[in-house]
Amino acid sequence: MKKEMIEELNQPLIPSPEKTENSIVKKDDDDSKKLGERVWEESKKLWHIAGPSIISRIASFSMNVVTTAFAGHLGDVELAALSIANTVIVGFNFGLLLGMASALETLCGQAFGAKKLHMLGIYMQRSWIVLFLCCFLLLPFYIFTTPLLKLVGQPDDVARLSGLVAVWLIPLHFSFAFVFPVQRFLQSQLKTAIIAWVSFGAFLVHVLMSWVLVYVFNMGIIGLCVALNVSWWILFFGEMAYVAWGGCPDTWSGFSWGAFSGLWEFVKLSAASGVMLCLENWYYRILVLMVGGLENAAIAVDALSVCMTINGWEMMVPLAFFAATGVRVANELGAGNGKAAKFATKVSVATSTVIGLFFCVLIMALHDKFAIIFSDSVPVLEEVDKLSWLLAVTILLNSVQPVLSGVAIGSGWQVYVAYINIGCYYVVGLPLGIVMGWVFNTGVVGIWAGMIFGGTALQTLILGIITVLCDWEKEAQKVVAHVQSWSDQPQNQPSIQQA
């Protein structure tokens, strides 16, 4: 009975890839359904992934929000130092590792749709290897944080404290190499509920540890770093315990030597995915650094950090749709069903946009109040109030852009989107922000506005055009052939335990 239940849970929410007569009849029946019924069915599949993903992502990100809130009440310098270390240094590396791990959304999602279940565990192990080695290459960013921040014009006191915080966050850095792959492994086979439960548990532990270490043991900002490190490693061990103790019997059979084969091809796809997403993730991290060169830098950085924290908090919702869209598109393309992949894209974009509109209006309504949870400094609160309309516009645009990026991940378009991101963000958006901020002397408002309209809006427009013009049936044929070529590797590699 238990085995039958596990097999039922592992069944994809998509039609079988075999081109049988029954499947053709089913497609004809689907075509004859009313639009409302099709939207409802697709929405259920989408929310099956997005709902738990929203909970898990908000819980995970809320760890950073809690850390920022505690730091803000320690002092302005502490808030600026932790915000820069966490937003810029950790954020830069977070973006690259998260992007590299998103290769699993392509590979595991398409393999699951094609029912090549034996490959999912091998893909995850390959991702661990690649990301773990990459973590060592990124360590200099943490070790040399202080001189790097001084080089870009940060105040000496903020740079020194940021460097101390960055060193203490190195364990957090290495946790990303293991947390990201196991989460994508689970979500690709629609096992998102366990991610939500573990994330919520880790968040509760983080809140309690932060309070104890700061107010009971008086560890200050170092205590916040320790709490953040422990909480993220709880995420990995909790989720991996589920995998190892029978939660994924069809996709996990233990550690395998097969993880070390085909590494170069995996590295190339991971690198393309990393470049694609880190260019997006880095874009607004650079904004914090640019503001550091303005007058009254501490106040400007604090205000912008509050806005970026709110933006990042809300961003967990469209990022959940990013993940859900990537899985749905990858599953359908892996099953050879391009039409269903196209429809899934439409439903996801529409749903995420409506949610983005709600939060946009909410920010405008609470423009002079939402910053109180992070700071009680009057200058910071006033500066956040001035930036609230830019935050609202950013939230609205970010309700669409990640979903389109999810389509790219599910389809395997990472290389093309990486070039688009370079052009939109760093050839157009960043220079426009510099010109508006410094040449026209409009400060943080001009920098942020230039980067929004010159970068994010342009990239969203281009990705939208590409998605509309895509030949989805042709994409489905390419993916089916691609999945077959990747799975034409030795399938019965002995596990490391057996060897």
Report d(CA 305, CA 312) in Å as an integer: 10
**CA 17 to chain CA centroid, nearest Å:** 29
For residues 403 and 322, the answer to whether their CB atoms sit within 8 Å is yes
Q: Is the pLDDT of residue 17 over 60?
A: no
Q: Which pLDDT value is given to residue 287?
A: 76
Question: Model confidence over 117-149: pLDDT tens digits?
Answer: 878 898 999 999 999 999 999 999 999 999 998
Where is average pLDDT lowest: 14-23, 104-113, 331-340, 394-403? 14-23
Q: Which pLDDT value is given to residue 241?
A: 95
For residues 476 and 341, the answer to whether their CB atoms sit within 8 Å is yes
What mean pLDDT do residues 50-60 have?
86
Query: Which of 33, 8, 16 lies closest to 331 in space, CA to CA?
Result: 16
Report d(CA 443, CA 304) in Å as an integer: 12
Query: Which of 224, 198, 199, 196 lies closest to 209 in space, CA to CA?
Result: 224
Q: What's the Cα-to-Cα distance from 77 to each of 138, 272, 284, 298, rounded to whole Å?
A: 26, 37, 21, 7
Mean pLDDT, the chain, rounded, equals 83
Question: Model confidence over 279-296: pLDDT tens digits?
Answer: 777 777 677 667 766 666
Report d(CA 90, CA 344) in Å as an integer: 33
Q: Which pLDDT value is given to residue 293?
A: 64
Q: Is the pLDDT of residue 216 over 80?
A: yes
pLDDT band at 18 (very low <50, low <70, confident <90, very high): very low
Residue 367, token pair as written in the block: 């423009």
* pTM assigned to the model: 0.75
Q: Which pLDDT value is given to residue 20?
A: 39
Q: Which pLDDT value is given to residue 447?
A: 86
Residue 88 DSSP class: I
Which of 152-156, 331-335, 356-360 reaches the highest mean pLDDT? 356-360
Q: Is the pLDDT of residue 498 over 60?
A: no
Q: Which pLDDT value is given to residue 487?
A: 60
What mean pLDDT do residues 38-59 have?
89
What mean pLDDT do residues 157-178 have?
94
**CA 380 to chain CA centroid, nearest Å:** 28
pLDDT band at 212 (very low <50, low <70, confident <90, very high): very high
Q: Which pLDDT value is given to residue 33?
A: 67
What mean pLDDT do residues 93-112 have?
84
